């Protein structure tokens, strides 16, 4: 029987000898493994020979692993993929039982959305309680982040919805936001924003902000709405529908002519602050400003100046917004 694994949840192995089958690879994809030792050294497979790990002869994209034969002093084995283009792939682990009469244990990875040019963590193996276990992953690879929680940066605990995975991976790789950093969206809900709300532009940008929160291992975005005055913040969870979230809030407070300075509502808030408005001028906003401009045929989302991203598309995808933010340098220290 095949067991579908859960991201960031440990799965015990029935034995030490495994067959690793990479699934859904495309031309140009590079799969590898990093063997991390207790002394902090790293062996990179296949560039470096690693005892206990080899490619299976005459079988493309398949490895043979004997955890008992891995070098002394190893701490974990991280399996990764680097792809030249964004696409989905997966991995299957077939574990031979120590007992000849027992059936093979088959574990299926739930899937990974690879981001172009980014090394993505797929699976980590470690020795646990006298046996072996694995943790499936779906995030940019960071050697300092131990999914087993043994020093370094804490493991990712937030479940990232599939719709956010590519943008979240890009945000993490670009260094836009660090692990554990709070993410706040200051949202202009004045009357002039009505066309952007109706078109779905605001919801699309909030999806990108959700991806930033996911990259920071945060379960939600703190949203501060400003119309004629700032309103108490609300939480937008990673799995929440931003369009329904904004629709419900505007029903509660209405759309009024804005008199309160939108940028000021983000002052003093910790972490990463993203101001979403249709006004490019005015006082400088802390963090980044996303300006929702009038729709313009053929014009893409761009980073126009320090800390500012201009969105002329009615429904920009989250990846394009995150990429533009990565190209804009925040004016705030």
How many CB atoms neighbour CB 10 within 10 A? 15
Q: How far is CA 191 from the centre of its chain?
A: 33
Q: What is the pLDDT of residue 152?
A: 46
Range among 168-177, 217-226, 293-302 rated most confident? 217-226
* Distance between start and end Cα atoms, the chain: 53
What pLDDT, in 10s, does the model give residues 15-26? 999 999 999 999
Encoded tokens for 16:
């030490």
Say if residue 286's pLDDT is above 90.
Answer: no
What pLDDT is attached to residue 281? Answer: 64
How many whole angstroms separate alpha carbon 109 and alpha carbon 105? 13
- Tell me the CATH number for domain 183-327: 3.40.50
Distance, CA of 311 to CA of 309 (rounded, Å): 7
Question: Which residues partner with 81 through β-bridges?
Answer: 31, 120
Residue 123 in tokens: 């699976």
What SS3 state is found at 50? strand
pLDDT at 279: 80
DSSP character string of 196-217: HHHHTHHHHHHHHHHHHHHHTT
Q: 153 pLDDT exceeds 50?
A: no
pLDDT average, residue stretch 296-312: 80
Highest mean pLDDT among 136-150, 169-183, 239-253: 239-253
pLDDT at 283 > cutoff 70: no
Asked which of 12-16, 17-21, 275-279 is least confident by mean pLDDT, the reply is 275-279
pLDDT of 333 reads 35
Question: What is the side-by-side strand order in the sheet with 119-128?
Answer: 11-12, 131-140, 119-128, 74-82, 30-37, 42-45
Neighbours of 280 (CB within 10 A): 13
Please say if the pLDDT value at position 239 is more than 60.
yes
Tokens read off for 320: 């394009």
Helix 201-215 to helix 242-253 angle (10° resolution) is 120
> What value does the mean pLDDT take over residues 174-203?
87
pLDDT of residue 290: 87
Quote the CA–CA distance of 309 and 170 in Å, as a whole number: 16
pLDDT higher than 90, residue 272: no
What is the pTM for the complete model shown?
0.63
pLDDT one-digit tens code per residue, 207-225: 999 999 998 888 999 999 9
Domain range list for the chain: 2-155, 183-327
What token pair was written down for 15?
């034995």
Mean pLDDT of the chain: 86
- Candidate CATH numbers 3.40.50, 2.60.60, 1.10.3470, 3.30.2420; the one for domain 2-155: 2.60.60
CA 87-91-93 angle, 5° bins: 180
Residues near 194 by beta carbon (within 8 Å), at least 6 away in sequence: 255
Q: Does the structure show a pLDDT above 80 at 59?
A: yes
pLDDT higher than threshold 60 for residue 284: no
């Amino acid at each position: 029987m095949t067991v579908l694994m859960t991201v960031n949840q440990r799965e015990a192995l029935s034995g030490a000898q495994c067959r690793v089958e990479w699934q859904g690879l495309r031309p140009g994809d590079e799969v590898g493994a990093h063997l991390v030792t207790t002394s902090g050294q790293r062996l990179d497979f296949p560039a470096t020979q690693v005892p206990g790990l080899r490619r299976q002869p005459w079988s493309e994209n398949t490895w043979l692993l004997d955890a008992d034969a891995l070098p002394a002093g190893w701490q974990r084995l991280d399996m990764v993929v680097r792809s030249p283009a964004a696409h989905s792939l997966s991995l299957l682990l077939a574990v031979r039982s120590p007992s000849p009469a027992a059936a093979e244990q088959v574990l299926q990875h739930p899937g990974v959305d690879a981001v172009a040019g980014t090394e993505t963590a797929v699976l980590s193996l470690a020795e646990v309680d006298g046996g072996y276990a694995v943790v499936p992953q779906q995030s940019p690879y960071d050697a300092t982040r131990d999914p087993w929680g043994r020093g370094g940066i804490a493991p990712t605990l937030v479940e990232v919805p599939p719709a956010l995975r590519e943008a979240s991976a890009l945000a993490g790789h670009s260094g836009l936001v660090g692990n554990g950093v709070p993410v706040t969206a200051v949202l202009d809900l004045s009357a002039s924003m009505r066309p952007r709300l109706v078109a779905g532009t605001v919801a699309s940008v909030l999806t990108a902000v959700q991806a930033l929160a996911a990259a920071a291992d945060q379960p939600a975005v703190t949203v501060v709405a400003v119309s004629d005055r700032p309103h108490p913040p609300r939480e937008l969870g990673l799995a929440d529908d931003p369009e329904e979230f904004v629709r419900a809030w505007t029903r509660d407070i209405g759309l009024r002519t804005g008199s309160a300075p939108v940028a000021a509502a983000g002052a003093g808030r910790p972490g990463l602050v993203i101001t979403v408005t249709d006004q490019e001028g005015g006082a400088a906003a802390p963090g980044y400003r996303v300006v929702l401009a009038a729709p313009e045929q053929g014009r893409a989302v761009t980073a126009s100046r320090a800390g500012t991203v201009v969105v002329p598309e009615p429904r920009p995808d989250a990846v394009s917004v995150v990429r533009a933010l990565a190209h804009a340098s925040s004016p705030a220290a």
